[in-house]
Amino acid sequence: MKRLTKVEEQIMQVIWKSERCLVRDIIDSLGDPKTPHSTISSVVRILEKKGYVGHKAYGRTYEYFPLIAKEDYFKQTIKGLVKDYFGGSVQRLVSFLAKENELDMSELSEIIQEIDKIEKEEQDD
Amino acid sequence: MKRLTKVEEQIMQVIWKSERCLVRDIIDSLGDPKTPHSTISSVVRILEKKGYVGHKAYGRTYEYFPLIAKEDYFKQTIKGLVKDYFGGSVQRLVSFLAKENELDMSELSEIIQEIDKIEKEEQDD
DNA sequence: ACCCCATAACGTAAAAATACGCTATAAAAT
DNA sequence: ATTTTATAGCGTATTTTTACGTTATGGGGT
């Protein structure tokens, strides 16, 4: 799973978001100034070559869809970051975020409650 | 602060880690197969042009040092990721990590205790 | 049936990243 | 002092990324 470049990732975000995705939809989603159709098409073809997207043809019209889930790509990305910046410890990452005031106590409590609930539900099965 | 490419980031990791950093040190840190001196030197010069590193010359020998802190680079990276993948909510990121079993209850508790302690210390001032 | 429009694909250009051979030079070894 | 070794920098080659002009074609409108 090769790492995406900036433009490639922007386009993947659009493809992940939409159900039905033509090149035109990507252009519209990216906002102004409008990038030429051929430029987007070119990147999408590279994404297909890299295995990130597939397509279904309706005549000349191609509908693109993700082959790699957004969640999976994110997981691998964050895993790499945690490895490089926190020696592989997710705990250290979260601790860092809390110290940087990106996350406060009440939010942490909420998460604990949420997880608690899920674990209780699992016990019920 | 331009985003680093794969090789650039690998080299920055070495520069961030070491006190005194010559091109030779980078080559040694990167392990086998040894990349040619001129290749590393080339990337380091690009990093300097991008404002990530500076150098101090000792005759012909250059000692490189970071101009952008590892922590700052990480902060901007994670901020971008949280924006793209969790609508800007750090809480959602941490919740995701917990659900993915990357983080368990006891670790979350430890973090809360840690933050608690820091907040108490701040009160004492 | 014919014309127009939107689209994909191709080829390629331009820019950026990656890679390295070579030269000059400073410092160390002899 | 001379030779050897390690270094930075330059120039350039290769590959990848980003960008787009152009062409061909399928489908819709008339």
CATH number at residue B46: 1.10.10.10
Boundaries of domain holding A94? 89-124
Query: Is residue B23 one of the residues assigned to a domain?
Result: yes
CB-CB contact of A17 with A6 (8 Å): no
Does residue A74 fall inside a structural domain? no
Domains identified in chain B, total number: 2
Do the Cβ atoms of A44 and A25 come closer than 8 Å?
no
Mark whether A59 and A104 lie in a shared domain: no
Q: Count CA atoms within 13 Å of residue B103 on its CB side.
A: 26
- For B45-68, what is the mean pLDDT? 92
The length of chain B, given as a count of residues: 125
Q: Give residues 98 to 117 of A whose Cβ lies within 8 Å of B.
A: 98-100, 102-103, 105, 107-112, 114-116
Determine the residue of chain A that is closest to B69 in CA distance. A85
List chain B residues with CB under 8 Å of A116: 105
In whole angstroms, give the CA distance from residue B47 to residue B73. Answer: 13
The pairing of strands A61-66 and B61-66 is: unpaired
Instruction: Give CA–CA dist B14/B27, Å, rounded.
Output: 9
Give the C-alpha separation, B62 to B57, whole Å: 5
Does the distance separating the beta carbons of B111 and A91 come in below 8 Å? Answer: yes
Render pLDDT for B69-102 as a digit per residue (tens, 0 to 9): 999 999 999 999 999 999 999 999 999 999 887 7
The pLDDT assigned to B122 comes to 83
pLDDT of amino acid B6:
94
Q: Which single residue is written with the structure tokens 């309706």?
A: A58
Is residue B71 assigned to a domain? no
Q: Is the pLDDT of residue B41 over 90?
A: yes
pLDDT for B110 equals 92
A41 within some domain: yes
Closest-approach nucleotide to residue B59, Cα vs C1': C26
A12 and A60 in a single domain? The answer is: yes
Q: Does residue B18 share a domain with residue B62?
A: yes
Q: What is the ipTM of this complex?
A: 0.86
Q: A22, A8, A25: which is closest to A62 by C-alpha?
A: A22
Which DSSP state fits A67?
A: S
